[in-house]
Structure 1
């Protein structure tokens, strides 16, 4: 049954990722769509992880559906890796550097911010 919840979340995450990626095409070769999807996913998963971890009576289905299924399918490390390789192959070294550095740095900062927001929203803090 758990696999079914992951698959259902993954189905909707893949649709959301595809739609957002189509809406935000590459700009001068820079993979804006993939970077945006991954950064949104970092913020969301940070928030969701904190928010759900402080809830006592949450069904174990919710993290599988939303965290593993939806967010796991929405974000894409493999596309990030291939696009980085393609930038390097085309000798867009600086763009590749910015893509990797920006994705990692901003992604980690957004995951942290999301976690803090999730923790604050659970505790009822509004700063």
Structure 2
């Protein structure tokens, strides 16, 4: 278990650092209102998690250490949106269409409400 925790922590740390650097670099060259950094990170993270899942295979036992390091750790630290998107694709591939719609809608709606509630509580 310690090995798995260290792999996730290492990957997550590197992903978080890269996320920070991406934001800093974007802010240096882009000052628009559109959240370009977050959008770009989310899209790149989704592409990367899809690529990694395709290369490493869908079987949880195949390349488990690499999955923990790169998929759970790095992509999780870089953007959790990639995990959200991958889960929705897996649900879709397993013909759980209503679950995809409910999960997506509820995640977006409750996420926005939770941020609003957090801001209200903080005041």
Same topology, TM > 0.5 = yes
Q: TM-score, normalised by structure 1?
A: 0.55
State the match for 1:22 in structure 2. Answer: 24
Conserved? CA contact 1:34–1:76, under 8 Å? no
Show the counterpart of 2:6: 4
Query: Which sections of structure 2, spanning at least 5 residues, go unmatched?
Result: 82-107, 117-123
Structure 1 distance, partners of 2:74, 2:50, is 14
1:42 aligns with 2:83: no
1-structure distance, mates of 2:80, 2:14: 14
What is the RMSD computed on CA atoms of the aligned residues?
2.8
Alignment size in residue pairs: 81
Q: In the aligned structure 2, how far is the partner of 1:76 from the partner of 1:16?
A: 14
1:91-112 deviations in Å (ceiling 9; x for gaps): xxxxxxxxxxxxxxxxxxxxxx
The runs of at least 4 aligned residues of structure 1 exceeding 3 Å deviation read: none
What is the TM-score of this pair, normalised by structure 2?
0.57
Structure 1, unpaired ranges of 5+: 87-127
